[in-house]
Amino acid sequence: MKARIGAVLAVTVTMLGLMAVPAHAYGVEITRVCDGKKTTYMAYTANNGDYAYTRKSGSSCAGHAWLRVKSGGKWGSWQHDPSKITIDPAKGIEVAHHKGCADCTVWITSP
């Protein structure tokens, strides 16, 4: 990970239980701390592979919510949004990659 000017980056990954996300789902919470304030990214894939999303909460860290998925044996391109990106391919998701900026660590979820 590259250092960011004016930002102290701390990443905490927490595997979430069923109470934090819909039943039978897989989710990862990524927390970045920049200028002493938290920005949280939720990386999630539904267990049936219908959809995946990356959601950003907080605005102290630069970076969008990024997501790409593997569906039908092929990887799609990276997509991003300032707050939330969702992908719901017709063939279902095999695995999803999530990140909080263009050159950040990739977090993996799967159904």
Note the pLDDT tens digit of each residue in 55-76: 999 877 888 999 999 999 999 9
Q: What is the pLDDT of residue 47?
A: 86
pTM: 0.74
How far apart CA 29 and CA 41 sit, in angstroms, is 6
Partners of 40 in the β-ladder: 31, 57
Token match 């719901």: residue? 88
Q: What pLDDT digit, counting tens, does each position of 3-40 carry?
A: 333 333 333 333 333 233 333 347 888 888 888 888 99
The domain limits of the chain are 12-109
Q: Are 39 and 31 in contact (CB under 8 A)?
A: yes
Q: What is the pLDDT of residue 98?
A: 94
Residues 6+ apart with CB under 8 A from 5: none
Q: What pLDDT digit, counting tens, does each position of 34-58 carry?
A: 888 889 999 999 988 999 999 999 8
Residue 53's nearest CA partner among 74, 91, 32, 22 is 22
Residues 6+ apart with CB under 8 A from 19: none
